[in-house]
Structure 1
Amino acid sequence: MAEVAYYTKEGLEKLKEELQYLKTVGRANMSKAIAEARDKGDLSENAEYDAAKEAQGLHEAKISQMQEAVANARLLDESKLDLSKVLALSIVKIKNVKNGTVMSYQLVSETEADLKSGKISVTSPIAKGLLGKKVGETIEITVPAGKMEFEILEISR
């Protein structure tokens, strides 16, 4: 059974748009590549045809994977979420206790994660350490670089 993932409205729409693109334009491009390779002669000795068929198989696997992700996606109603503690979709302002650096992250699903825009996956070490915590708490989180201590300054949506 697949895992349920929680999405923002924008994230779910982006996922659906990408799936639609793969099913329409992507499939058409795959068919065209196979037809071009087929026209080049004997299929038993045609590496281009074999490569196009393999690419088509990978493309269909990706479509299947995305269809499963959409089927298991849940849209969170942000207006009903508890602001007193860190949850999925929370925007959390934290301070590194050691060097005083202040950072702000939104906790999102793995597919929506984008560090450049301040979105981290709820499955990342920092997000896992923050989940369920409240403003004012100081927590120690083990990250690949070692242990880090953070203070939660603010939680918002």
Structure 2
Amino acid sequence: MDSIPITVQGFKRLERELERLKKERPEVILAIKEAREEGDLRENAGYDAARERQGMLEARINFIESRMPRFNVIDLATLDGEQVIFGATVEIEDVDTGDVKKYTLLGPDEAEPSKGSISILSPVGQALLGKYEGDEIVVEAPRGKINYEIISIAFYGPIEQD
């Protein structure tokens, strides 16, 4: 995927995270310096912990920075329609069990299933894209194929996820 869809809110959240991580750099460098001054680095847990923190910090900064140019920022307030697309909130019913679920389809960088949003790249997200109310979809799951019917499609505009 060349372009990665993300909401305006999700993009701003990543910008804030990147800014916060960059501000942490001097702290981590100072912690490494202080730990190094304690002596023998082979048995210096403080040094190892500071280096590990630095590695994780830099990896996250690099990850976010590498994705920023690829983001396609989408304002959910501008979306509507009858078809399932990025930003749609879809209510689906398991045809076999009658269980009803509601998901908002978002990009991979902001989907949080525990908060009711799934990635458009997930198996369910992929099966839903382009479909309409009343359509049935089949999702391959570890327990086997699951048949869902699309009950409703709605666009609620910007969502809060903090």
TM over 0.5: yes
TM-score by length of 2: 0.84
Match of 1:101 in 2: 99
User: Equivalent residue for 2:152?
Assistant: 154
Partner of 2:15: 16
1:136-155 → structure 2 map (5 Å cutoff) = 136-155=134-153
Runs of 5+ consecutive residues of structure 1 not aligned to the other structure: none
Q: Which moved more, 1:34-43 or 1:9-18?
A: 34-43
Question: 2:28 is matched with which residue?
Answer: 30
TM-superposed CA distance for 1:130, in Å, is 0.7
Equivalent residues of 1:108, 1:122 under 8 A apart = yes
CA distance in 2, matches of 1:59, 1:3: 25
Q: Secondary structure at the residue paired with 2:10?
A: helix
Equivalent pair of 2:79/2:87 in contact (CA under 8 Å): no
In structure 2, which of residues 37, 42, 47 is the aligned counterpart of residue 39 of structure 1?
A: 37
AA partner of residue 120 (structure 2): V
The two structures have a TM-score, normalised by structure 1, of: 0.87
Structure 2 Cα separation of the partners of residues 30 and 111 of structure 1: 26
Q: 1:133 maps to what in 2? A: 131
The DSSP-based 3-state class of the residue aligned with 2:5 is strand
Deviation at 1:44, TM superposition (A): 7.1
For residues 155 and 53 of structure 1, do their structure 2 counterparts lie closer, same or farther at Cα, with a shift above 3 Å needed?
same
Indicate yes or no: 2:69 matched with 1:71. yes
Unaligned runs of 5+ in 2: 156-162
> For 1:111, what is the secondary structure of its paired residue?
coil
- How far does the alpha carbon of each residue in 1:75-107 deviate from its partner, in whole angstroms, 9 at most, with x for none? 113355452211111111111111111111001
Q: Which amino acid aligns with 2:84?
A: V
Matched with 2:47 is 49
Name the % identity: 38
C-alpha deviation, 1:32, in angstroms: 2.2
Q: SS of the counterpart of 1:6?
A: strand
